[in-house]
Structure formats: C-alpha cells, structure tokens
Structure 1
Amino acid sequence: MNSLAPGARRAVRPAGADPAAPVVAGSAGAWRRFVGTVLAVAAAAGLAILGFIAAMDPYGLRAAPGRPPGPIMDLNQRFMYPQVVRSGAFDAAVFGTSTARLLDPESLDAALGGRFANLAMNAATPWEQVQLARLFLDTVQVRGVVFGLDANWCDAKADAKRLTFRAFPAWLYRSDAAWRGLLHQWNLQSLQIAGRVLLHRLGRMPERIRHDGYEVFTPPEASYDAARAATHIRTWEREDPSVGPGPLPALDWLDALLAALPPEARRLVAFMPVHVGAQAPPGSPGAEREAACKARAAAIGRSRGATVVDFRIPSGVTTRDANYWDPLHYRLPIAARVVAALARAEASGADDPDGFYRVLAHPQAAGR
C-alpha cells in the first residue's frame, strides 16, 4: 500500500549504501536551494556595496566645474588629485614631487596670480607627473603652471621607470573615467575611502588634505631637532655620481607639455633646492649629467617662453643643515622663500643677488 501523500517525494537510499544509515530526502534539491540563497545574498551585498561606493564617490568621478569634488580622504595622492583637476576650481597648478609639496597655493595665488592647486605627489616619477599635467591641460583653461624638477627628470632611464611601488590608477586619468570608473572602484580600498567620506560628512573625520591639494607633510616646526636632521643629512645615500650624461626622455615630455599650454599661460620651471648633500659633487660625471640636463631645460624654456629657475645649487640655503629635515625636504620658511623667489625671478629675469637661485631662461631674454 502506498502511504505517501499526493505530491510527496519518496526518500531513495543510494545503491550500495549502508542499510543502517539514515535516508536524506531531497538532499540534492536542498543543496541547490542553499547555494542559490548564498549567491543571491552575495550578489545583493555586492550591489549594495557598489551602490554605497558610487553614492560616496570617493575619487570624485562626478567632479566638474560647478560641481566641487568631495573631501580628499585617501593617503595616495595619485587617486585623489584627478578630482581636484576636474573640479575646475583651479586654473594654475604645481607639479612635482615632495620637494615641491610645501609650496602653498594661497601664497602662490598672491605672488603669481591665478587660482593655484598644489598637485605635487610623493616620489612621483616624471611620467606620473606628466599624466596629471595632461589631465589638467585637457580639463581647464590654464593660466599658469609651475614644474618643480628633481634629479629624476635628468635620468636617462626615466622612460623605463614610469611607475613606483605605489599604485597608479591610469583609469582615473582618462576623459571617460566617470563612465568607466565605477567597476574599477569595486574593491576593498575604495570601500574604505568611501567609509571615510561618509564619516567626514557626518562630522566624525577631518579632510585628509586641503581642497587645493596642499598639505604640510613634514613634522611640526616646533618639533624640529637640528641634531637629528644633521644625522639624516650626513647618512644620506647619494645617487651614483659616476653616471654621466645620457638621453633625457623626461625633458622631451616637459617640452611637449609647455608647447601645449595656451600662449598666455605662465610657464615656470624650477630645479628645487635640495641640500648640497643630495647634489652631485663638483667635477663628477653626475655633476656633468646634471649640467647637461639644466642646459637642455634652459633651451626648452627659451623656446617655449618659460622662466627656468635653478635652486639646485650650492647656496646659503642649501649648505645650511638647519634649513632641512633631510637632504631633500626643506622647512616651511624655505618654502615661503621659494615662492617669493619664483615671483622675483619671473619679474626680473635676473639671478638672485644672494645666490639663492640662478635664472637659466626667461621670456624677455628670448626676445619675447
């Protein structure tokens, strides 16, 4: 007699199974339902996370003129600065490495005119700086640029050393980043930054960097320790001074950028004032390479109507340990002097009487 109710399924013991083992009815169907539930929950959670990231817009993909970017909350400036550019709030900018990061945009506004952003990035290669500068040129009507050059611009292998160990999001530098960028943000890092944006909006976390890209990344001036700074300077591992002149691919990129600027835009190029301990010794192949690099930069400046200023020389600033935290990073008062010196150099076209800088090229000297 069949005692099963209509529609019920009979439990079937697999062939060869232990007769004493319990029989599990519909185990395959239950497993399929479990897997389906897990996948549905995971998909819903993934879409919710993606929606949260899109709503917080951690990298300012929706930034545009008249639509300011969100707060800068990430540590990696390579992810944060494109939104500063896309905001259209700035028509002048500083590009470079940490040797240019202490140049205050508000001081540059007053000294040079324009609405400056500081877009210098820690340890940025020339190639990375060029990508950001190209985005700037393609996005805004540029009124002025300041390129802070370091030794990497004189490296014959600059083309091969395009990236560092820091992530560089090339997708953020594309004109269609707002459309293509959503899936690129579907990761834990973006979720973390989106969470910081939310905390900022709730008043629970301050903005990581000022809206114009400026940050005093050095320790507080009140904590300056001259003896410790001197130790950093003396133990610095200088770049190989035995490497002589060679090709200068990065300066070709600089030439192309300056040529692409509007004719009326201010063009300033400056070799930044590192301590003499980080400069190649006089008479060495490294010094010869650096001299060739500066000569090439000066020629580019003359042909493109740029003022080229050289702070990377022995001077009363660069020979004094107390002006530096380490061989590359000067103190805040020196940053203020650099801003004022750039304005003087552009206005006069003359070397500094105190020897702080030399003017390698100037538009007036080029007959403009």
Structure 2
Amino acid sequence: MADPRLTPDRDWRGDWRGFARTLLLSVAGLFAGYLALAVPVDPYDTGRSELLARGAVRPQGPRTASAVRGRDPAYTGAVIGNSHIQLIEPAALSRLTGIPFVQLSVPATGPTEQFALLGWYLQHHARPDAIVLSADAFWCADDPSFPSEHGFPYWLIGDWPAYLRGLIRFSAAQETVNRLGWLLSPRRKTAAADGWWDYERNYLSQGFGIDPAKKAALEKPAGPDAEPHHGGPFPIADRLRAELARVPARTPVVVVFPPVYVRAEPPPGSPRARAEAACRAQVRSVLATHPANAVVDWRDGRPGAADPDQFFDQTHYRLPLARALTTDIGAAIVRLRTQMTE
C-alpha cells in the first residue's frame, strides 16, 4: 500500500511551478514597489517628478548633479566641458556678460558626455543666451565613439525607459534613501546651485606645486609622437556640426581651447603638432557655420603658459589663469551679442 505522505511526481512539478510563479511575482512586486517610491522621490532631482522638489541641489558629485543644474531655468548660459574648464567661475562670467551662467563641467569626460549634457541643457532651455564649450585634446580623438575610461550616468538625462532602467541599481536605491533623509532633515546641506567648484584646495592638498616629483613631472617635455593622431579629418567635425544644428542661430557659442603648460606642447613641426593644429582648424571651420560664434584660443603661445606657478600639472591651470581666461570668454560673448543686435 502506497505511503500517503508521498506525492506523485506530477504534483511535485506543480508545487515547483507554483513556487517559481510566486517567487517571480514577489520579485516583480518588489521592483514595482521600489519604482513606485523611487520615481516620485526622484533621487537625483531630474525633474521627472516635482512632488518633492525643493529648489536646491543636494550635495553630490557633478556627474549626477548636472541633471538638476542643467534643467534650472534660472541659468540661461552654460559652460560645458571637463576639469580643463572647471575653474571658470560662473558668477564671474555672469558679472561680465549679464547672463546667469551655470557650470556643467564634469571631470574626466569627453565629447560624448559633454554633448549629452548640452542636449539635456537645450531640452530645458529653448533659447539660451550663451553656450561655452571646452575643446581639449579629447576632442581630437581618432575614434568616433570618443571612448572614456570613466562611467557616466547617461540614463539620468535620457528618455523615460532609460531612466526607469537606471533606477534599478543599488546606487540609485541608496540615493533614494539618501534623498528622503535629506528632504526630512531640518538642517539640510546644499551644494552650489551654479555648479561652481574651486578644486585648487584639492590639488594643493595632494602636494602639487610642492612635491618635487610632481614638479619634475610638470617639466617633463612632451614627446613628438605622444598621443599620436592622423592628420584628419577628425570625427569631432561631424559630431560638432550635428550638435550646433540644435542650437538656436542667435545663441552665441564660444569654443575655448584651454591652456596647457608649455612643456606639454609638442615640438613645432612634429606629427603631433601638425595633427593638433589640423584638429583645431577643423573645429574652427565647423564652428564658423553657426551665425554667432567665437573661438577663445589659449593654445596660442601666450606667456602665462610658460609659468610653472600657474599650473598644477601640464593640463590643469590655476585660478589666476582661469580668471584671465574668464575675462576673454566674457568679452567674446559680449562682442557676439552686440553683433547680433546691430
């Protein structure tokens, strides 16, 4: 006689199917419940939900903070680039031009990330008063995908499906909790709304300008074939042309070639020198197709680039040079705006 405690194989299979179904429904319910919380909390304040908006920037890195800063209607001018233009103080540029500027520069980014931020900014500013773009060596890459070694949260400034997928990650869940805590705190800390970040202290704390090894690295001459490039055409030309097509014709666009220390310049006449010059010439040519354009070129051999006290390393300059560069950028914007009204 069969033991009644034993269940036929088909019943075991049915139990497993039921268990699997319950497990899947539970996981789906968990994700749905999490998204039902995360979407209205909007952990990085992308504006997709205004339910808990507070009109302030929660302390965080520029990679994620650009989502809230880039959509702020108070700022009708934007500076976009990486750490090679991060020391341009937006408030100073605002004083020079009368345009409220926001810093959207994100360290360790190249054209792909920067144009994504430009697209986000234009999505929220139909008629910006001015745009400043930093064209450094990353713009002269041979690979049209402009690869980067550092991750970038494209999902934050992407479409809804990308945003929802991006929320399903541990870091986003953590930030959902962090934002809730920040919202509930009576003494919540805030970050600069305009994105200003003076990183001089960070460099000084690491020994730049003092450490003999770092000073020696600053004086190391660039080789003639360092960072080799072909002579063109460069992928940045087509990419910049496409991006400029999105910018209103009457919006001044200023492209900055940021300064590098004189030792970082390739030897005159070397393949690298010719390639870099060709790349910058292509950028100038494409930029000229935009009605209101200007180039601020600080790769032109000016004396400040030969002063080691003005640089932390060969591509990161200090505040005195940044302030002088800001003056030149402001003058270019004022000139363009005057021309557009004549």
Normalised by the shorter chain, which TM-score bucket?
A: 0.7 to 0.9
The 1-side partners of 2:274 and 2:176 are apart by 49
For residue 247 of structure 1, report the CA deviation from its aligned partner.
1.4
Higher-Rg member (1/2): 1
Q: What is the alpha-carbon distance in structure 2 between the residues aligned to residue 105 and residue 126 of structure 1?
A: 21
Q: Give the corresponding residue for 2:152.
A: 168
Given that 2:255 and 2:296 are in contact with CA atoms closer than 8 Å, whether structure 1 keeps it comes out as: yes
Q: Does residue 40 of structure 2 align to residue 58 of structure 1?
A: no
The alignment status of 1:12 with 2:2, answered yes or no, reads no
Q: Which amino acid aligns with 1:233?
A: L
Whether 1:145 aligns to 2:128 is no
2:289 to 303, 308, 313: 303
1:341 equivalenced with 2:328 (yes/no): yes
Query: Larger % of helix: which?
Result: 2
**What SS does structure 1 have at the residue aligned with 2:201?**
coil
Q: 1:65 to 1:41 in 2, by over 3 A?
A: closer
Contact map agreement 2:70 2:124 (CA 8 A) in 1: yes
After superposition, the Cα gap between the structure-2 partners of 1:264 and 1:56, relative to the gap in structure 1 and judged at 3 Å, is same
State which of 182, 187, 195 in structure 2 corresponds to 1:213.
Answer: 195
Could you tell me the TM-score, scaled by structure 2's length?
A: 0.79
Higher relative contact order, structure no. (Cα contacts within 8 Å, ≥ 6 residues apart): 2
Task: Report deviation, 1:13.
Answer: 5.4
Consecutive unaligned residues of structure 2, counting only runs of 5 or more, are none
Question: Which moves more between the two structures, 110-119 or 83-92?
Answer: 83-92
Tell me the CA shift for residue 108 of structure 1: 1.3
Q: Flag structure 1 segments of 5+ consecutive residues without an equivalent.
A: 1-9, 16-25, 350-361
Partner of 2:65: 80
> Per the alignment, do residues 104 and 64 of structure 1 end up closer, same or farther by CA in structure 2, a change over 3 Å counting?
farther
Secondary structure of the structure 2 residue equivalent to 1:343? helix
Given candidates 178, 181, 206, the residue that maps to 1:199 is: 181
Aligned match for 1:124, one of 105, 109, 112: 109
CA RMSD of aligned residues (A): 3.7
Counting aligned pairs with the same residue, the percent is 26
What secondary structure does 2:303 align onto? coil
- Residues 46, 111 of structure 1: CA spacing in aligned structure 2 closer, same or farther, 3 A cutoff? same
Residue 87 of structure 2 is matched in structure 1 by: 102
Partner-residue secondary structure (3-state), 1:145: strand
Structure 1 residues 197 and 334, CA, compared in 2 at 3 Å: closer, same or farther?
A: farther
Paired letter, 2:150: R
Q: Secondary structure at the match of 1:283?
A: coil
Q: Which amino acid aligns with 1:263?
A: A
Find the aligned partners of 1:14 and 1:262 in 2 and give their Cα distance.
73
Q: Which amino acid aligns with 1:116?
A: F
Secondary structure, counterpart of 2:78 in structure 1? strand
Judging changes above 3 Å, is the alpha-carbon distance between structure 1 residues 13 and 121 closer, same or farther for their aligned structure 2 residues?
A: closer
| Structure 1 residues 198 and 231, CA gap change in structure 2 (3 angstroms) | farther
| TM-score between the two structures when normalised by the length of structure 1 | 0.74
Pair 199,282 (structure 1): closer, same or farther in 2 beyond 3 Å: farther
1:227 pairs with one of 204, 210, 218? 210
Q: Deviations over 1:206-254 (max 9, x none)?
A: 44x5222332234358756523242341358767265441212213322
